[in-house]
A and B are shown apart, each in its own frame.
Chain A
Amino acid sequence: DSGVTQTPKHLITATGQRVTLRCSPRSGDLSVYWYQQSLDQGLQFLIQYYNGEERAKGNILERFSAQQFPDLHSELNLSSLELGDSALYFCASSPHAQKHSGNTIYFGEGSWLTVV
Chain B
Amino acid sequence: AQKVTQAQTEISVVEKEDVTLDCVYETRDTTYYLFWYKQPPSGELVFLIRRNSFDEQNEISGRYSWNFQKSTSSFNFTITASQVVDSAVYFCALSDPGANSKLTFGKGITLSVRP
Contact = CB atoms under 8 A, between A and B. Distances in A.
B46 A43 contact: no
A88 B44 CA distance: 10
Nearest to B104: A45
B33 interface: yes
Contacts, number: 74
Contacts of B42: 109
B102 A42 contact: no
Per DSSP, chain B at the interface is loop
Nearest to A33: B102
Interface residues of B, number: 29
Contacts of B33: 102
Given A43-B91, A102-B95, A107-B37, A97 B101 contact: yes
Given A2-B47, A88-B43, A112-B43, A105 B105 contact: no
A48 B107 contact: no
B29 to A, nearest CB: 8
Nearest to B102: A45
Contacts of A98: 99
Interface of B: 29, 31-33, 35, 37, 42-47, 50, 52, 91, 95-108
Interface of A: 2, 31, 33, 42-43, 45, 48, 50, 55-56, 58, 88, 90, 92, 94, 97-110, 112
